[in-house]
Amino acid sequence: MMSKLSRPLPAHSTVMGFDFGEKRIGVAIGNISIGVATPLTTVHAESNVDRLVAVGKVVGEWQPALFVVGQPHHADDQPHEVAHLAKKFGNRLQENFKRPVVYVDETLSSMEASSALVERGITGREQKDKLDAFAAAVILQSWLDEYAKTQPEAAPLDKEGVQPHAA
């Protein structure tokens, strides 16, 4: 399940992904033209005010054109208890930072993030501070991959690295 954008983003746009949790929020960054999500940070705050202040600092630094928020679901596709809180978080992002928000099914993103950390030799308790940001990167990467499928293919570059003009 992925919500849609009303119009395409410019090819150079930066996008920011979030793995929302009641105690921590993982944050990742990506770029439409590169199509790769990178873990950025984890916000450790429980109050909505503190969360928005911390997120605001990251938003101010990176200036994303779009927010991608993970929507948790159970294995039977029913919304997780945290799903409505993630939606409220997304609404707050949109209201406070005046950027569009899309939602992505984040089922199994934490497991995938944990596996990615294990591949890097980070296990057990060492994962705690990194897991949420890596889960945000998994969420954002899934959106980037789907978004790329909806965009027209760019013409190949010539041998000088220039895109030829259409005749």
Which regions in the chain score pLDDT beneath 70? 1-4, 6, 73-80, 107-131, 152-167
| This prediction's pTM | 0.78
Query: Quick one: pLDDT at residue 122?
Result: 58
For the domain covering 18-150, report its CATH number.
Answer: 3.30.420.140
Query: Quick one: pLDDT at residue 83?
Result: 80
Give the CA distances from residue 162 to residues 12, 31, 93, 148, in Å, rounded to whole numbers and listed in that order: 17, 21, 38, 21
Residue boundaries of the structural domains of the chain: 18-150
Contact 72, 86 (CB under 8 A): yes
